[in-house]
Amino acid sequence: MKIAIVGGPTGVGKTELMIEICEEIGAEIISMDSRQIYRYMDIGTAKPTLEQRARVPHHMIDLLDPDEYYNAFMYRKDALKVVEEVVKRGKIPVFVGGTGLYADALMRGIFEGVPADENIRKELRELERREPGTLRKMLEEFDPEAATRIHPNDLKRTIRALEVYMKTGRRISELQKETKGDERFFVIVLTRERNELYERINRRVDEMVRNGLVEEVKKLLEMGYSKDLNSMKTIGYKEVVGFLEGRYDFQKMVHFIKRNTRHFARRQLIWFKRYEDAIWYNLSQVEKEEAKRKIKEAILRCYAV
């Protein structure tokens, strides 16, 4: 049995297409989105609608409040439990989403062998505060392989990699390779031509704003959720916070959300290109029904193995 992971950039059309496919083959969707796990954050995370979730069961959505901690290790553990439950019901589990770190967690496992050290983390954060950019330079020197995989702005993972090196004298990139992978998964990546993808992203942002994104962020703040939470730094939410604080006007806010989402989509594509055996479908070059047919065949064929 092999289980499909259907990934791709935000705005490519994963949700709509996969709901149709899963509805036809009796599959259930396991969300692979690191932001849809949060309650009350519906519009800005583009969660499937209640009508869509009625058509096809969805899992790993609305698990936590916005101020609760979650990571890829916890996601893998929870998601694999869902896989077992779905299979027991005689249904086909299909992962759908754009969080590459979660895809890695599923296929490659998660290295959690070195306990956290708050003293080291505090010292590293203070060093970065005094000399911005220092930790990135350290990572590039001590673990260049990890530096190629960790985004320059991802301070949390940078600190973790340096913490492991300082505690063990070994590179986290080496230790991660010792983690046992899971060969049950295969990857399908959906993409589109850049211009079309960016147009879809722009339209989706406009739709989110029309549907009440600003009001959703206002409500979260009124509920007491801090703008400094990791969840509130999600694209869409952080730009609305800036608008509400008067740092720029409404049009600038919309521009920033569109721009940052386009940049994010590009990073997602770069991440999924790392999977050498992935099956790619360019939805700009193949008719929708043909894409559905091929994806259905791939899911059913591999699941039956």
Q: Which CATH number goes with the domain that contains 88?
A: 3.40.50.300
- Concatenated DSSP letters of 200-212: HHHHHHHHHHHTT
CATH at residue 160: 1.10.20.140
Rounded to the nearest integer, the mean pLDDT of the chain is: 93
Residues 95 and 196 in one domain: yes
Q: What is the distance between the alpha carbons of residues 101 and 200, in angstroms, rounded to a whole number?
A: 24
Give me the number of domains the chain comprises: 2
Residues 13 and 149 in one domain: no
Residues 99 and 195 in one domain: yes
Q: With bands split at pLDDT 50, 70 and 90, how would you rate the model's confidence at 169? A: confident
**pLDDT tens digits for range 183-196:** 899 999 999 999 99
Residues 207 and 76 in one domain: yes
Q: What is the pLDDT of residue 203?
A: 98
* Residue 305 amino acid letter: V
Q: How far is CA 296 from CA 3, 32, 215, 245, 273, in A?
A: 12, 19, 38, 47, 22
Q: What is the mean pLDDT of residues 24-41?
A: 97
Task: Indicate the pTM of the whole model.
Answer: 0.82
Q: What is the pLDDT of residue 114?
A: 74
Q: What is the pLDDT of residue 190?
A: 97
**pLDDT tens digits for range 73-93:** 889 999 999 999 999 999 999
Residues 101 and 167 in one domain: no
Residues 172 and 266 in one domain: no
C-beta separation of 5 from 95 below 8 A: yes
Residues 39 and 134 in one domain: no
Question: Terminal CA-to-CA distance of the chain, rounded, Å?
Answer: 5
Q: What is the mean pLDDT of residues 279-299?
A: 95
Domain with 62 in it: 3-110+180-303
Last residue of a domain, one of 152, 177, 202: 177
Q: Is the pLDDT of residue 111 over 70?
A: no
